[in-house]
Amino acid sequence: MNVASKENAITPSHPVDDWYRLDAAEALRRLDSAETGLRRQEAEERLQLYGANALPEPKKKHPLLQFIAYFNDVLIYILLLAAVIKGFMTQWVDMFIILAVAVINALIGFVQEHNAAKSLKSIQGMLSNNAVVIRDGETQTVDARSLVPGDVVALRPGDRIPADLRLLDAHNLLVEEAILTGESTVVAKQVAPIEGEAILGDRLNILFSGTTISAGTAKGVVFATGADTELGHINQMMADIDPHPTPLLKQMDSLGKLISLLILAMVAVLFLFAFFLRDIPFAELLLALISLAVASVPEGLPAIISIILSLGVQSMARIRAIIRRLSTVETLGAMTVICSDKTGTLTMNEMTVKAVITANGNYRVDGESYAPVGKIRPEDNGEGEAVIEAGNVLGHFITVIDLCNDSGIRQDEQGRWAITGGPTEGALKVLAVKSGLQLNDAALIEKIPFDSAYKYMATRHRIGAEHRVFVTGAPDVLFAFCRQEMTEAGVRPFNLAFWEGEVARHARQGLRMVAAAYKNIAPDSAPLDHDTLRQDMVLVGIAGMMDPPPAGGHNGHSPLPAGRYSRQNDHRRSPGNRHGHRRHARDRHQ
């Protein structure tokens, strides 16, 4: 293809936001590509046409101009005028003090804005650095900046999606899209086209730049790069925000004008009175009036305001809130109502197991987020610590949730803990690490991946000489599979009323429930299938988890009481749904 313009690659009659309506073959045709990818020469030509796959850098002011802009204030004008007059009066000490106040005021604001601008550039870090592409029929790793529309990209768990893609192939694909949709639950993706209008969160055959593959594998064709991606649109919206004066700046401007008018009026009245009625010599009168005018200027006011606002900025910085301009602190203090999405704003967007239910008793789990720190304690003994051994019920429960799990836990260079895989499975993996139970002799033989159609995941493991099937999933589904439950005294008949009561009690606290079950099978048993799970399963326990509020709220406490948060969390996800149902499009508009 001889690429002469963008219109040659993307048909004008088909808007770029409608790719989810096309089937995979039509998307490839419109992009003049194939599943074997572009030719290298063609990719280079398109790179020249479309530019690098990177978010555009905003236009930058020269640092000197940014600094000078902080002198654009009525009170600062008065200070500078007072300094000039002090200089004419040879009062050098007063002049330098006033100039120092003005410069320090501007310097504080300049440094604060510079630091905030560096933090806001973190959106650039949401783009992937590398991408696995297919070009000339060969798989290769390239710089993600060189991706162009028509490139075919291969993805695996843990990959950050490098551009907006139309899916060509997907296997058990789960994607974390919280940065775009605000939903903490992973999204199951599919290849089939979508009929009618679909909002961003419902475009299940599209992968968006900056989001992350939690589980499964995929292959997709690039249809948007850089500023044309959804992440690029967000970046552009942030750049296009028009500055508005804050209430404090409006009040300061009004005060400055009022002070200026009062000083001018006072000087004029005194001049007329003294010169015409008291016959004071002009030179002497002028010096007295200038001194009076300078004395009337509140030169300490801008400095005091800057210091107070700086203290507010530092307080916000200690709780990891970025304040770009000093005056914004006062604006936040003037707010009476804040409208905010819950996930990732009022909460940490990190699922955490808070309770474990077994037939012999319940346990609560300390710790927040994905950091594997915290103890497992009996619910009726807050000071004690649970005994976790390979042979007891809690040990069996940890074994199931640890082995029937596709996620992993890792610590980055900054010491922050994160997971690979879905947030629900990740929370269970963190609980397993907290328990300290070691499972070194377990080998995975086969598995049934999680699917929202049947709401569970199953694995078959060899532990020593035994073969076991482990299942984790929605409690209501596993209840139908189980005829027995595990206790410290051995297995006994399944008590459905007890388990449903416990699930309801914990669901009222806003916890999402995930059940765990197992059964022993013969080494020569038939391959694992869904029918195998529908008989002779033994329920071991249930984990209750939530997306907690940040720990660093006001006075070190969570910003929302646990009960209020829990009820907010409860109405959005059924306690019986392991990964949580996705809200209807109509609900997301409200």
Question: Residues with catalytic annotation?
Answer: 341
- DSSP state letter for 229: S
User: Position of tokens 């990719």?
Assistant: 43
- Report which secondary-structure segment, H or E, holds 532: helix 530-533
Beta-ladder partners of 212: 160, 176
Contact 426, 432 (CB under 8 A): no
Which residues does residue 484 pair with via DSSP β-bridges, in sequence order? 493, 538
Nearest to 266 by CA among 299, 292, 295: 292
Say if residues 70 and 110 touch (Cβ distance below 8 Å). Answer: yes
**Other beta carbons within 10 Å of 487:** 13
Written as six digits, the tokens of 32 are 């003049």
Provide the CB-side half-sphere exposure for 164 (13 A, CA).
Answer: 23
Cα–Cα distance between 197 and 10 in angstroms, integer? 20
Cβ pair 537, 520 in contact under 8 A: no
DSSP 167-206: EEEEEEEEEE-HHHH---S-EE---S---S---GGG-TTE
End-to-end CA distance of the chain: 46
Alpha helices, H only, 382-422? 393-403
Please give the DSSP secondary-structure letter assigned to residue 555. Answer: G
Q: What is the number of other CB atoms lying within 10 angstroms of the CB of residue 40?
A: 12
Cα 419–chain centre separation: 14
Measured CA to CA, the distance from residue 433 to residue 413 in angstroms comes to: 20
- Please tell me whether residue 424 adopts helix, strand or coil conformation: helix
